[in-house]
Amino acid sequence: MVYTKIISTYPQHLSEEVGKAYIEAMKKVPDDKSIAKPVIRAAVEATLEGFRVTAFNAVKPGKLREALDLASKRMLIFGKIEGFNYSINLAYNATEAMEFIGMQAPE
């Protein structure tokens, strides 16, 4: 299983602005479960620098490009907020990651 992993960071004083942008983003670019299924929509952490939000979405087979496009469109809505940063990465479950090095994960 391939996952999109989206990490966002922003200073605490931007919380309300980011919250409003989140509502807008979810309305303008809603989830499409035929492309990816949300696993963790938003795990929010308070850090010394502000907030860090991590989201994981399980990508449907053959839909990687569409999943990355969807994530990018959604995150661009936050781009107008100065001090808001994000990254979009791919992650694999342990079973698939072990296969990359020719091993099999224990069950």
Q: In tens digits, what is the pLDDT along the chain, a chain of 107 residues? A: 899 999 999 999 999 999 999 999 999 999 999 999 999 999 999 999 999 999 999 999 999 999 999 999 999 999 999 999 999 999 998 888 888 788 887 77
- Positive or negative torsion for Cα 39, 73, 1, 60: positive
* Domain that includes residue 62, residue range: 2-100
User: 64-76 vs 15-28: helix axis angle to the nearest 10?
Assistant: 140
Assess if residue 106 is contained within a domain.
no
Assess if residue 69 is contained within a domain.
yes
How many distinct structural domains can be found in the chain? 1
Assess if residue 33 is contained within a domain.
yes
Nearest to 6 by CA among 46, 49, 39, 48: 39
Assess if residue 59 is contained within a domain.
yes
CATH of the domain at 31: 3.30.70.260
Cβ atoms of residues 7 and 89 within 8 Å: yes
Assess if residue 105 is contained within a domain.
no
36-47 β-sheet, strand order: 36-47, 50-59, 2-10, 85-92
